[in-house]
Amino acid sequence: MTKKKLAVVMDPIAEIIPEKDGTLGLLLEAQSRSYELIYFEQKDLRIKNGIALGSGRHLNVEDNTTSWFSLSEKNEIPLSEFDVILMRKDPPFNIEYIYTTYVLDLAESSGALVINSPESLRNFNEKVSISFFPECAAPSLVTSSINHLQDFLKLHKKIVVKPLDGMGGKSIFVIAEGDLNTNSIFEIITHENSETVMAQLYIPEVVEGDKRIHIVDGKHVDVLLARIPLKTDNRGNLVAGAQPKTQALSENDKRICNLIGPKLQASGIFFAGIDVIGNFLTEINITSPTGMREIKRYADYDVVGIFFDLIEKKLND
């Protein structure tokens, strides 16, 4: 029986933190299911005379914190040869990221299952996309105007401000009315009224955890990962030191998932990690959502297995 071929586009695998890295967890599962794995970095992809190509390396992975991968020499491979392509490049979501989605568009049109769809990666900014769901999203403002940010702060008294293209809690500020650093923060984060950012109402329930909930093919899983900020930090991000805690979804969590799941599915977003604080949706992560390994480690609940069961169902349909 011919092995199915899976390509992954990711950041340099030598630089990941193996015990936490969600992409490594996906690759370990694929390898256990006898997929042939081919590794690409963003710079390895190109279009030549209308054909999507990549300089790929055969990849073997291990669940090991000191030696977790081995790679072959590079070979040129048409992306049309792959059954599945996982686009797992981390943000920043910049113009190079968009160019990469053009290459993946061609791969998708040639029959490869690209997760998530290149069009959805372009259209669903991980911060702005909550605006499609105002009935469950945190009150928010998307603007480059310092004056508008000042008005938003005056209205809500305490807010969170963040860039639209980041991840992992980088460059996120919590600002309370009266903070003497407010204007400096607004000037820096907007590059003096020239770069669009998001402001959101500060939700005090963040101290109970910034909840990561995975949605696979439009359906929520049954265990979430609450990331509880350190007492010395506002950010509920594991890379910022937040502590992981697994728990069941609340009825409100399920309500949010059921509201947004059908639109994600219809848009070609096969795998998402939404963030919920208190009763509010705050982000929809679709580039390289993580948290699956912690859920497996602490709750013995296999999000990655669910993901691959559904991939194989799609490939066999």
Task: Confirm whether 48 is a catalytic residue.
Answer: no
Which residue of the set 127, 211, 293, 296 is catalytic? 127
- pLDDT at 1 exceeding the cut of 70: no
The CA distance from 20 to 17, in Å, is 6
Which residue of the set 88, 89, 211, 235 is catalytic? 235
| Helix or strand run (H / E) with residue 87 | strand 84-87
Task: Confirm whether 219 is a catalytic residue.
Answer: no
Mean pLDDT of 292-310: 97
Which residue of the set 162, 211, 293, 296 is catalytic? 162
Task: Confirm whether 46 is a catalytic residue.
Answer: no
Domains and CATH numbers, the chain: 5-119 (3.40.50.20), 139-201 (3.30.1490.20), 205-301 (3.30.470.20)
Task: Confirm whether 122 is a catalytic residue.
Answer: no
pLDDT in tens, 201-238: 999 999 999 999 999 999 999 999 999 988 877 776 77
Q: Between residues 254 and 3, which one has the greater pLDDT?
A: 254
Write the CA distances from 58 to 61, 62, 69, 152, 161, integer angstroms: 10, 14, 10, 51, 41
Task: Confirm whether 285 is a catalytic residue.
Answer: yes
Task: Confirm whether 235 is a catalytic residue.
Answer: yes
Which residue of the set 275, 293, 294, 296 is catalytic? 275
- pLDDT at 30 exceeding the cut of 80: yes
The CA distance from 161 to 219, in Å, is 30
Which residue of the set 88, 227, 293, 296 is catalytic? 227
Task: Confirm whether 212 is a catalytic residue.
Answer: yes
* pLDDT mean across residues, the chain: 95
- pLDDT at 186 exceeding the cut of 90: yes
Which residue of the set 44, 125, 285, 296 is catalytic? 285
Write the CA distances from 208 to 33, 62, 107, 227, integer angstroms: 37, 34, 42, 8
The CA distance from 191 to 196, in Å, is 9
**191 CB-near residues (< 8 Å, 6+ apart):** none
Which residue of the set 57, 88, 211, 212 is catalytic? 212
- pLDDT at 269 exceeding the cut of 70: yes
Q: 113-115 and 36-40 as β-strands: parallel, antiparallel, unpaired? A: unpaired
Query: Angle CA(262)–CA(206)–CA(222) in degrees, nearest 5?
Result: 40
Which residue of the set 283, 293, 294, 296 is catalytic? 283
